[in-house]
Amino acid sequence: MRTRPGWVDTEVYFRIVHLAQAGTPLAPYLEQMVEIALGLKGAFENGNIGALRRRMLSDKVVSAVLPSRGDPKPTKVARTPRVVELLRKANEWKALLESGEVASQAEIALREGITRARVTQIMGMLRLAPEIREQILAMHDSSRRPQITERVLRPIGVITPYRDQLREFHKFLI
Whether residues 96 and 51 share a domain: the answer is: no
CA-CA-CA-CA torsion sign (116, 118, 123, 128) = positive
For 100, the domain range is: 82-156
Q: Distance from CA of residue 160 to its chain's centroid? A: 36
Whether residues 92 and 151 share a domain: the answer is: yes
Counted residue by residue, the chain has a size of 174
Of 145, 143, 152, 142, give the one whose Cα is nearest residue 173.
Answer: 152
Q: Give the pLDDT confidence score for residue 20 in this predicted structure.
A: 54
Q: Give the pLDDT confidence score for residue 56 in this predicted structure.
A: 57
Torsion angle (degrees, nearest 10) of CA 141, 143, 146, 147: -120
Q: How confident is the model at residue 129 (pLDDT cuts 50, 70, 90)?
A: very high
- Strands 52-57 vs 10-20: parallel, antiparallel or unpaired: unpaired
- Residue 89 lies inside a defined structural domain of this protein: yes
Q: Give the pLDDT confidence score for residue 75 in this predicted structure.
A: 81
Is a pLDDT exceeding 80 seen at residue 86? yes
Q: Give the pLDDT confidence score for residue 162 in this predicted structure.
A: 94
Q: How confident is the model at residue 78 (pLDDT cuts 50, 70, 90)?
A: confident
Of 55, 48, 65, 58, give the one whose Cα is nearest residue 13.
Answer: 48
d(CA 95, CA 112): 15
pTM of the model: 0.58
- Residue 71 lies inside a defined structural domain of this protein: no
Q: How confident is the model at residue 2 (pLDDT cuts 50, 70, 90)?
A: low
Instruction: Tell me the β-bridge partners of 54.
Output: 34
- Residue 117 lies inside a defined structural domain of this protein: yes
Whether residues 94 and 37 share a domain: the answer is: no
Task: Give Dmax over CA atoms of the chain in angstroms.
Answer: 89
Whether residues 51 and 99 share a domain: the answer is: no
Domain count of the chain? 2
Q: Over the stretch 9-64, which tens digit does the pLDDT of each residue have?
A: 666 655 555 555 555 554 455 555 655 565 666 665 655 555 555 555 555 655 55
